[in-house]
Structure 1
Amino acid sequence: MELNPVPRLERPDGACELDPEAVWESFCKLLDEALQDAEINPDRINCIGISVQRNSLLLWDKKTSNPRTRVITWQDTRSLDLAKKLNHSFIFRSMKTAGHMLYWMTHQSRFKALASYHFKTALACIRLKYLLNEKPKLIDECRKGLLCYGCLETWLLWRLTGGKTFATDVSCASVTGMYDSFSRKWSRPILASLGIPANILPGVYPSSYYYGTVQNGPLGYSSNPSLSIPITGIIGDAQAATLTENCLSPFQAKLTLGTGMFLNLISGSRALALMNGFYPVIGWASGQAYFDSVPTFEIDSTSSSSESPSSVLSTSRSVHLDNLTYLVEGFYPHAGTLIDWLKSENIFSTYSELEEILYSGDQLGLDEKATRENIFYIPLLRNTLRNHQNTLVDEKLNRKSFYGPDGLVIGLDYSKSADKLLVARVFIESIAFCTKLMLENYRKQTRISPSILYVNGNVARSNWLLQRMSNTIGIPVERRGLEECSCLGAAIVAGVGAGLWPSFFAATDSLHKRLHSEANSLPSVDINDANLNKRNNKSNSHELYRRFMPESSEICISIKKRYHIWSHLRASYLPKTSTGLKLV
């Protein structure tokens, strides 16, 4: 089955949008192709599950279902200045201070989460606030109850059911920044601080749940409701991949390497609040629901925020959450974007060619050269690059540098063909370095280290990257023989919601028993001696740090710190010899 990517609409100001109708058309085409490839008739389909890119939002007309905005993706950074302003506002700082005090008094995790909360562009809530600020007419229509808000899962569900179901699931809601994962309700304090009307928000339900039947699209049977296919599962892509990897027990860890890097660690049946970039999210939940209890949204143009039904503000009281599982999530926005940039620069054309380039660098001693000449790739936000491009490097020191897709390359001018091999190398190894930082952050706060890291996603195809990652983080890294983990996760929650499996444990156990025999020849990395060498030369690492001296500014201090860490990590794995790959 061929991919049907939706073209992104990008602008220099940080905009990254999608056409909502193009998303729907691509979705319908995907359904058609899936049926053709599987060679089955629609009447053989028991149920449907949806897994989507999270936090990509839009507004649409409640009566006509016509989009009123484009889909603003999680990569859109136009709200960065707004996020900074709100984070430094008196009201928000007062909320965080109250969170610190309440946590000190009660030691409840929910107050610790409030104390560590901050707005960032990846959250749907801050981009929704930016959208409403930019288009004041929309806020008036929202207050009058004329518009619906939703991310991609809500939009596709609305279109599939012909506007009869206005809902999302707990996994997708928990990452929007305006949902309280502890009380499992939309957060009234956050909504009030942002001025977002509550009546535009969808109802929140379990991941495995009866959401209605397909009425539109290739599988729609509006003329014969008895043939309608039920939609029994919705889950976010990162959580779906975690579920597929059979990470169901506390302290198991999964890393998805797609467009960005999503590190998920299981915390069990209770939410765990951490600081410094980690936040609690809901992984999945199931609910016992009858087919006549589908969440519906009555179209009433006269409704207002004060008249919004209680189901809009919280999970329906009639639905009990079973098998509720919480995750801790860490995030870096740089992974697949690096691969795309290398390909656009004609450094490679296929993944196999990229692997050859990376392994050839081992023979050419490029690690030693990169360390000797202080060559690194340091990821940065696009807005940071745009706003500080004149202060990142001190030109007086004559340091070579150039800008990558989401960061700064130090020590190269990208003029020689040999430099292209180095560029590919330092780009890919930065993914391993970012993984190390996230795991170290988690370990310092919890004093717990996962025994193995499961990886998936398109970028995880690289055996060289997984070997480098294992050497860097000091634990085995395993890639199982599973393709399209998010799709399989959607199938799992849909199957549980339809009663095909009694639990998520039963579903994943059945899945892995079936697929492991088919995938036993795919490689995974298992490095027994991958603990980092603590005897590396710290004075040499400090020298690398000292020689990179950007001009004084807040962002440059961060760059210098990151550069120092990168130097330290590379020095730690250079003395090691690769133990190769094992076959599962």
Structure 2
Amino acid sequence: MGMATQRNTFITWDRETGKPFHNFITWQDLRGKEYVKDWNHSYTMKALNTGAKLLHTFTRSPRHLAASVLRFLSPQVTMRLKWLLNHNELLKDRLYQNQVLFGCIDTWLLWKLTAGRVHATDYSCASSTGLFDPFQMEWSSVVCKLLDIPMTIFPELKDTSGLFGKCDPQILGAAIPITGIVADQQGAMFGDCCYTVGDVKCTMGSGTFIDLNTGNQPHASIAGLYPLVGWKIGSELVFIAEGVSSDSGCVLEWAKSLSIFEEESKLADIAESVPDNGGVYFVAAFSGLQAPINDDTAVTTMIGMTPNTAKAHVVRAILESLAFRFKLLYETMLTETKLPISSVRVNGGVSNNRFVLQLMSDLTSQVIEKSKFTDMTNLGVAFLAGLGHGIWKCKEELFKLRGCDRVYTPQKKWNKYKNIFRTWERAVNRSKKWYSQQ
């Protein structure tokens, strides 16, 4: 059995009774939003950033470089957990008695499936919480001391592939071994066989998640890329640098709800029915603008409409914006990591749109491989669980199972799109800092 779960949705429960103190708090929950804002602008954080910057000047340590630009984020566990510890009285009482356990979805399921015998997680799930130090490969004592979070609540860290425990026979009728646990995006990367330094996985679902294999060293980013553990299997430790654009597939759902189009399968045809965007530019910022722009006060913008603007121009502008955001993240990864990108493998619902993928290839002069399976996370955790149980002996056996549906090659259209892309960047600048003015 293997488990791949949504990242950063968590729960706490009583060590003795196993009873939760609250419902799951999802990564979209905004109760910690004000904590994020206050802490990121606090003198404590400024002192931490300044001190780390000074230390990096002398040590050149990537860990100090990462700390010099450290910011808390709402989707991370950190501030939602801090908010919870301040507002749940029963939780606080049991915390003083050392009777509280913490876990994301994977840890909770593992605890329940093993009838409370195993309290653990894997490194990939832990690394995205904001409570983990990828440079030390352990729960972050610095963050926990800063926020007064006791480290006794955290689960044991285990390899991504290997025996976590066995399912209680009373639950499923047999003691099924649980041999793989992975976070969703890292699972998709493993399923897409991005095992070599420089391999890139791009999942285009409701949001776009671009992950670059950086080998056995975490990348310290100043542009907003996040260093995560891809997977740990025995002595093999793989890190990834992740860039996110939160609004992709959800933008298409929004446009469909406004009757801008009817069928998603027809989007490429609609975009190609006009020679260009007619001067229309779209910036998706329903959740702000992430790396490398990093502006959570940005506003969604559509600019350049005239009486001659047709729905096809709007559709084309929306699809172009998805490819433009990919280009920004792609170039950021190239510039920051200095790693040659060897391959880009794309999965997720939006990957079915040939217009978007071809434009991504043209803008980056990079070959784009569309994965055979839309949902690569499921395949990835199946690979990991199978490796952990001995069904496959090594990763090389997995390549033939992945499959490639289509390959997009650059058609040398960058000269045509150069000015269009620059104008879109002007539209991005117009959308920035909008909500900070209120």
Q: Do they fold alike, i.e. is TM over 0.5? A: yes
Deviation at 1:149, TM superposition (A): 1.3
Using the alignment, how far apart are the partners of 1:220 and 1:536 within structure 2? 57
SS of equivalent residue, structure 2 residue 366: coil
Deviation at 1:234, TM superposition (A): 0.6
Using the alignment, how far apart are the partners of 1:165 and 1:49 within structure 2? 15
Q: Structure 1-normalised TM-score?
A: 0.68
Mapped contact 1:169–1:235 kept (Cα < 8 A): yes
Using the alignment, how far apart are the partners of 1:515 and 1:251 within structure 2? 18
Residue 184 (structure 2) aligns with:
237
Q: Does 1:431 align with 2:322?
A: yes
Using the alignment, how far apart are the partners of 2:99 and 2:424 within structure 1? 61
Q: Does 1:473 align with 2:386?
A: no
Residue 266 (structure 2) aligns with:
356
Deviation at 1:238, TM superposition (A): 0.7
Using the alignment, how far apart are the partners of 2:380 and 2:428 within structure 1? 47
Mapped contact 1:49–1:490 kept (Cα < 8 A): yes
Deviation at 1:262, TM superposition (A): 1.2
Map residues 170-319 of structure 1 onto 2, 5 A cutoff. 170-215=123-168, 220-221=172-173, 227-287=174-234
Residue 32 (structure 2) aligns with:
79
Q: Supply the AA of the counterpart residue of 1:409.
A: M
Residue 513 (structure 1) aligns with:
400
Using the alignment, how far apart are the partners of 2:337 and 2:53 within structure 1? 18
Residue 485 (structure 1) aligns with:
376
Q: Per the alignment, do residues 424 and 68 of structure 1 end up closer, same or farther by CA in structure 2, a change over 3 Å counting?
A: farther
Deviation at 1:194, TM superposition (A): 1.3
Using the alignment, how far apart are the partners of 1:173 and 1:546 within structure 2? 37
Q: Supply the AA of the counterpart residue of 2:369.
A: E
In the TM superposition, what whole-angstrom CA distance separates every residue of 1:468-513 from its partner, at most 9, and x where no partner exists? 22222331211121242111111122122223333xxx23x32332
In the TM superposition, what whole-angstrom CA distance separates every residue of 1:297-322 from its partner, at most 9, and x where no partner exists? xxxxxxxxxxxxxxxxxxxxxxxxx1
Residue of structure 2 aligned with 1:379, choices 272, 285, 292: 285
Residue of structure 2 aligned with 1:144, choices 94, 97, 119: 97
Deviation at 1:459, TM superposition (A): 1.9
Using the alignment, how far apart are the partners of 2:349 and 2:419 within structure 1? 35
Using the alignment, how far apart are the partners of 1:209 and 1:499 within structure 2? 9
Q: Supply the AA of the counterpart residue of 2:385.
A: A
Identity of aligned residues (%): 31
Residue of structure 2 aligned with 1:533, choices 415, 419, 428: 415
Residue 241 (structure 2) aligns with:
328
Structure 2: runs of 5+ lacking an equivalent: none
In the TM superposition, what whole-angstrom CA distance separates every residue of 1:253-286 from its partner, at most 9, and x where no partner exists? 1111122221111111122212111121111112
Mapped contact 2:200–2:345 kept (Cα < 8 A): yes
Using the alignment, how far apart are the partners of 2:427 and 2:151 within structure 1? 52
Structure with bigger gyration radius? 1
Residue 50 (structure 1) aligns with:
3
In the TM superposition, what whole-angstrom CA distance separates every residue of 1:406-443 from its partner, at most 9, and x where no partner exists? 83333459x99x75444433333222111111112222
Q: Per the alignment, do residues 213 and 408 of structure 1 end up closer, same or farther by CA in structure 2, a change over 3 Å counting?
A: same
Q: Per the alignment, do residues 378 and 411 of structure 1 end up closer, same or farther by CA in structure 2, a change over 3 Å counting?
A: farther
Q: Supply the AA of the counterpart residue of 1:510.
A: E
Structure 1: runs of 5+ lacking an equivalent: 1-47, 222-226, 288-321, 393-405, 560-584
Mapped contact 1:277–1:331 kept (Cα < 8 A): no
Mapped contact 2:281–2:318 kept (Cα < 8 A): no
Q: Supply the AA of the counterpart residue of 1:471.
A: D
Of 443-452 and 273-282, more deviation after overlay is shown by: 443-452
SS of equivalent residue, structure 1 residue 209: strand
The aligned length equals: 433
Mapped contact 2:103–2:155 kept (Cα < 8 A): yes
Using the alignment, how far apart are the partners of 2:434 and 2:407 within structure 1? 38
Using the alignment, how far apart are the partners of 1:92 and 1:233 within structure 2? 37
Residue 111 (structure 1) aligns with:
64
Using the alignment, how far apart are the partners of 1:235 and 1:526 within structure 2? 32
SS of equivalent residue, structure 1 residue 127: helix
Q: Supply the AA of the counterpart residue of 1:220.
A: L
Using the alignment, how far apart are the partners of 1:544 and 1:212 within structure 2? 50
Q: Supply the AA of the counterpart residue of 1:511.
A: L
Deviation at 1:203, TM superposition (A): 0.9
Q: Per the alignment, do residues 477 and 546 of structure 1 end up closer, same or farther by CA in structure 2, a change over 3 Å counting?
A: closer
Q: Per the alignment, do residues 187 and 348 of structure 1 end up closer, same or farther by CA in structure 2, a change over 3 Å counting?
A: same
In the TM superposition, what whole-angstrom CA distance separates every residue of 1:541-566 from its partner, at most 9, and x where no partner exists? 5799499968xxx714999xxxxxxx
In the TM superposition, what whole-angstrom CA distance separates every residue of 1:437-475 from its partner, at most 9, and x where no partner exists? 111222222334414321111221211211122222331
Deviation at 1:182, TM superposition (A): 1.4
Using the alignment, how far apart are the partners of 1:547 and 1:195 within structure 2? 38
Mapped contact 2:219–2:337 kept (Cα < 8 A): no
Q: Per the alignment, do residues 544 and 199 of structure 1 end up closer, same or farther by CA in structure 2, a change over 3 Å counting?
A: closer
SS of equivalent residue, structure 1 residue 379: coil
Residue 555 (structure 1) aligns with:
433
Using the alignment, how far apart are the partners of 2:352 and 2:383 within structure 1? 23
Q: Supply the AA of the counterpart residue of 2:102.
A: Y
SS of equivalent residue, structure 1 residue 211: strand
Residue 349 (structure 2) aligns with:
458
Mapped contact 1:361–1:421 kept (Cα < 8 A): yes
Using the alignment, how far apart are the partners of 2:246 and 2:77 within structure 1? 15
Using the alignment, how far apart are the partners of 2:428 and 2:255 within structure 1? 27
Q: Supply the AA of the counterpart residue of 2:412.
A: D
Deviation at 1:380, TM superposition (A): 4.2
Residue of structure 2 aligned with 1:345, choices 248, 251, 258: 258
Deviation at 1:175, TM superposition (A): 0.8
Using the alignment, how far apart are the partners of 1:142 and 1:425 within structure 2? 54
Q: Per the alignment, do residues 144 and 79 of structure 1 end up closer, same or farther by CA in structure 2, a change over 3 Å counting?
A: same
Give the CA RMSD over aligned residues.
Answer: 3.3
Q: Per the alignment, do residues 490 and 542 of structure 1 end up closer, same or farther by CA in structure 2, a change over 3 Å counting?
A: closer
Mapped contact 1:113–1:279 kept (Cα < 8 A): no
Using the alignment, how far apart are the partners of 1:328 and 1:466 within structure 2? 21
Mapped contact 2:3–2:181 kept (Cα < 8 A): yes
Q: Does 1:523 align with 2:406?
A: yes
Using the alignment, how far apart are the partners of 1:187 and 1:485 within structure 2? 30
Deviation at 1:111, TM superposition (A): 1.3
Q: Per the alignment, do residues 270 and 258 of structure 1 end up closer, same or farther by CA in structure 2, a change over 3 Å counting?
A: same
SS of equivalent residue, structure 2 residue 302: strand
Q: Per the alignment, do residues 465 and 63 of structure 1 end up closer, same or farther by CA in structure 2, a change over 3 Å counting?
A: same
Mapped contact 1:278–1:329 kept (Cα < 8 A): yes
Mapped contact 1:255–1:261 kept (Cα < 8 A): yes
Q: Does 1:131 align with 2:89?
A: no
